[in-house]
A and B are shown apart, each in its own frame.
Chain A
Amino acid sequence: MEGQKLLNGYQTGQQTRRQGAVMFGPGRKIINSLLHLLKMAVLLLASLVTAFPFVWMIISALKTKAEIMDVSAFLPETAQWQNFSEVLFESPMVRYIGNSLFVSVCTVAIQVVTGAMIAYAIVFMRFRGRKMLFAVIMATYMLPTAATYVPSYIILSNWNLLNTYTGLIISNAVSIFGIFLLRQAFMQVPAGLVEAAKIDGANAWKILWKIVTPMTKSSFITFGLMSFISSYNNYMWPSLITDSPEMSLVSQGLRRYFIEGGAYGTEWPKVMAGSTIIVVPLLILFMFTQKWFINGIGGDTGMKG
């Protein structure tokens, strides 16, 4: 409707405009190629600015303490690779990475199961309060989660789950974004297929994992990756509930290293090496999984449009 109105407006506007002078020929060509050049320049500049912190992080990690304080030395004279080995072998960074991997993998596994089940119920099951349930979930999506941290902290403390990964994992057992993503994907599955499976006597559990999941695999991958990244990078909540150093996740551990390692002064190369060790694997992971992020985020936002 709206589109049609626009379209009509367009056609009438177009007719009147046609009568006016329209540039053709070489002039137009020059303008076009200039525009193209401008476009490329903007993109190049934006990409350079975006990538710069990563490049600078790696270059800084390879410098000596003296070089890093010298504005005129852009590149290190000789790359100080031992900065990396020192961080890897003499700091608990590897342990932090292991902690984060463990917590993230558990969190992702649980979020995928809980998310797929509730999304299945919302899409394929008929029950009273179905719409209400979805509305509540949608409202929760807009809630600033951090505002709930005091009571959540108290709940975990009452259950003696402070400073445990169990506490961390169960408090992140649901991903609202994931429920959206899967609901959106499940809605594309032909309802007849599910009905037919039901008539054949398959139960919901089987239908979900044997029929619906294989058909919506790409959304599951997107969900898994997004959930992994956010759980791996998470900082505020884990830092509130785990305070013993050996339990730290990467972000918290890196921050401790940043502060203890004489951040405000001397140890910048090592701090940058630590950051590189944490950031670069994620960039590599992203390089190989890029399409799942880009298609997934853009394609299935749970919003029309």
Chain B
Amino acid sequence: MPCIMRFGKEKVMNRKSIMQRLKQMGGVWLFVIPALIPLIVFWIYPIFRSLFISFTDWDYMSPTYNFVFFDNFKSLFTDERFYEALGNTILFSVGTIIPTIVGGLLLALLLQKNFRGSGIYKFILFSPWVTPTVAVSIVWTWIFEPQVGMANTVLKFFHLPGLQWIQSSDTAMLSVILVTVWKSLGYAMIFYLSALEKVPKDLYEACGLDGAKKWQRFRDITIPCISPTTFFLMIITMVNSLQAYDQIQILTQGGPSGSTRTLLYMYYQLGFEEFNMGEATAVAIVIILITVLLSCVQFTASKKWVHY
């Protein structure tokens, strides 16, 4: 216990300990700074900078700008496109979060016990996650092709009418959601697999070998035990949905007629196509506020249903 010993010694020792502490602080800084600087420059500062820009009418090209205070937000909140994008974002988020979490859990339950070939299933189900969204979205574009694409060929095989998929505003969002769920399902599955492994075995044993009560066992033991993972996945999937861009850019570019334009895609179009930096950052602020708000709601709600 070196720190206790230090108190008992004379002044010489004290000075040395100050030197030591300075040295120690230096050491801490040396270890923290390489990560902290990029974190501040490219993550934290940009949030405040965005807030600042959102109060201006800056167009990126000109060196000057005027303060317009809440004008960007006002024009945003009176713009029909904004509400459409907000609605699309909600639809997209809910449409991806629920199937990803429910499907991921279902697959994890099916693969919970190792059997011959379970490794191959895990490999296949998780594989979309490692592939570039752009490349696989291009493949999906081909699958969604209305005339000769595989999606409609399959539908025709079951005597169902073909869909226009990404070419119609009725089904474009569905297509984007399908691709997103396809890509993230295995990821959720992996998280659930390890969560299921960590459910204390004695809890299961306590309720006996009575197989008929599997559902009850699942509801009363498994679900509460894996709730932290569910909570974690909800947050992560939500953040990912809020910033989905690659698949939208390849599949639909926000169209047809704005039916897949999410807030993030609107942010991209305003900022990097129209160079309306003020309104773009205003959208960014809205996205950040939504994230913070939803995270707070989920954290508060999690106290009721998440059991650590």
- Among listed B8-16, B33-41, B74-82, B94-102, interface-contacting one: B33-41
Distance A153 CA – B41 CA, assembled complex (angstroms): 11
Closest-by-CB residue of B relative to A127 is B28
Q: Do A305 and B39 touch across chains, with their CB atoms under 8 A apart?
A: no
- Among listed B46-54, B64-72, B168-176, interface-contacting one: B46-54
User: C-beta contact mask, B259-273 vs A, less than 8 Å → 1, else 0?
Assistant: 000001001100110
Q: Check if A146 is an interface residue, CB within 8 A of chain B.
A: yes
* Chain B, 164-184, CB within 8 A of any chain A CB: 182
Determine how close the nearest CB of chain A comes to the CB of B256; give it in whole angstroms.
14
Q: Check if B131 is an interface residue, CB within 8 A of chain A.
A: yes
Q: Do B42 and A148 touch across chains, with their CB atoms under 8 A apart?
A: yes
Q: Check if A301 is an interface residue, CB within 8 A of chain B.
A: yes
User: C-beta contact mask, B222-248 vs A, less than 8 Å → 1, else 0?
Assistant: 001111110110010001001101100
Determine how close the nearest CB of chain B comes to the CB of A273; give it in whole angstroms.
11
Distance A56 CA – B206 CA, assembled complex (angstroms): 48
Closest-by-CB residue of A relative to B308 is A304
If A146-B245, A151-B46 touch, whether A293 touches B132 (CB-CB below 8 Å) is: no
Q: Do A146 and B143 touch across chains, with their CB atoms under 8 A apart?
A: no
Distance A155 CA – B50 CA, assembled complex (angstroms): 12
Q: Do B39 and A150 touch across chains, with their CB atoms under 8 A apart?
A: no
- Among listed A16-24, A77-85, A185-193, A211-219, interface-contacting one: A16-24
> Which listed residue, A43, A46, A140, A252, touches B44 by the CB 8 Å rule?
A140
Q: Do A278 and B135 touch across chains, with their CB atoms under 8 A apart?
A: yes
Q: Do B280 and A142 touch across chains, with their CB atoms under 8 A apart?
A: no
Distance A295 CA – B255 CA, assembled complex (angstroms): 39
The interface size bin for chain A is 35 or more
* Chain A, 47-63, CB within 8 A of any chain B CB: 47, 49-54, 56-57, 60
Q: Do A144 and B288 touch across chains, with their CB atoms under 8 A apart?
A: yes
Q: Check if A102 is an interface residue, CB within 8 A of chain B.
A: no
User: C-beta contact mask, A244-285 vs B, less than 8 Å → 1, else 0?
Assistant: 000000111011001000010000100110010011001101
Determine how close the nearest CB of chain B comes to the CB of A26; give it in whole angstroms.
14
Q: Check if B88 is an interface residue, CB within 8 A of chain A.
A: no
Q: Check if B211 is an interface residue, CB within 8 A of chain A.
A: yes
Distance A196 CA – B99 CA, assembled complex (angstroms): 50
Q: Do B35 and A305 touch across chains, with their CB atoms under 8 A apart?
A: no
- What residues of B have a CB within 8 angstroms of the CB of A137 in the complex? 39
Distance A149 CA – B203 CA, assembled complex (angstroms): 48
Determine how close the nearest CB of chain B comes to the CB of A72; give it in whole angstroms.
9
Q: Check if A201 is an interface residue, CB within 8 A of chain B.
A: no
- What residues of A have a CB within 8 angstroms of the CB of B45 in the complex? 151, 155
- What residues of B have a CB within 8 angstroms of the CB of A251 in the complex? 132-135, 246
> Which listed residue, B124, B226, B267, B295, touches A146 by the CB 8 Å rule?
B267
Q: Check if B105 is an interface residue, CB within 8 A of chain A.
A: no
* Chain B, 249-291, CB within 8 A of any chain A CB: 249-250, 264, 267-268, 271-272, 277, 280-281, 284-285, 287-288, 291
* Chain A, 153-183, CB within 8 A of any chain B CB: 153-155, 170-171, 173-174, 176, 179
Q: Check if B25 is an interface residue, CB within 8 A of chain A.
A: yes
Q: Which of B31, B224, B267 has the most CB of A within 10 A?
A: B31
User: C-beta contact mask, B116-145 vs A, less than 8 Å → 1, else 0?
Assistant: 000111111111101111111011111100
Q: Do B34 and A117 touch across chains, with their CB atoms under 8 A apart?
A: yes
Q: Do A43 and B210 touch across chains, with their CB atoms under 8 A apart?
A: no
Distance A6 CA – B220 CA, assembled complex (angstroms): 7
Distance A57 CA – B47 CA, assembled complex (angstroms): 40
Distance A171 CA – B39 CA, assembled complex (angstroms): 9
Determine how close the nearest CB of chain A comes to the CB of B271; give it in whole angstroms.
5
Determine how close the nearest CB of chain A comes to the CB of B19; give it in whole angstroms.
16
Q: Check if B6 is an interface residue, CB within 8 A of chain A.
A: no
- What residues of B have a CB within 8 angstroms of the CB of A23 in the complex? 212
Determine how close the nearest CB of chain A comes to the CB of B302; give it in whole angstroms.
11
Q: Do A147 and B243 touch across chains, with their CB atoms under 8 A apart?
A: yes
If A140-B39, A147-B243, A297-B190 touch, whether A279 touches B284 (CB-CB below 8 Å) is: no
Q: Check if A294 is an interface residue, CB within 8 A of chain B.
A: yes
- What residues of A have a CB within 8 angstroms of the CB of B295 in the complex? 142
Q: Do B232 and A303 touch across chains, with their CB atoms under 8 A apart?
A: yes
Distance A151 CA – B288 CA, assembled complex (angstroms): 14
Q: Which of B195, B235, B243, B295 has the most CB of A within 10 A?
A: B243
Q: Hey, which bits of chain A sit against chain B, CB under 8 A?
A: 2-3, 6-7, 9-11, 13-14, 17-18, 22-23, 28, 32, 39, 42-43, 46-47, 49-54, 56-57, 60, 68-71, 113-115, 117-118, 120-121, 125, 127, 133, 136-137, 140, 142-155, 170-171, 173-174, 176, 179, 203-204, 229, 232-233, 235-236, 240, 250-252, 254-255, 258, 263, 268, 271-272, 275, 278-279, 282-283, 285-287, 290, 293-295, 297-299, 301, 303-305
Q: Given contacts A17-B213, A49-B182, A298-B194, list 19 more A-B pairs with CB under 8 A.
A: A10-B207, A51-B127, A53-B139, A118-B35, A121-B31, A121-B32, A144-B243, A146-B268, A147-B243, A147-B288, A151-B50, A229-B130, A251-B132, A254-B138, A283-B130, A285-B130, A294-B122, A301-B191, A305-B232
Considering the complex of A and B, which 8 residue pairs feature the smallest CB-CB distances, nearest first? A298-B194, A305-B228, A151-B46, A148-B46, A151-B49, A251-B134, A118-B35, A233-B132
Pairs A–B under 8 Å by Cβ, sample size 21: A2-B307, A3-B225, A9-B220, A43-B107, A46-B121, A47-B120, A51-B124, A113-B34, A118-B32, A142-B291, A147-B47, A147-B50, A174-B35, A174-B42, A235-B134, A255-B134, A278-B132, A286-B127, A297-B190, A304-B228, A305-B195
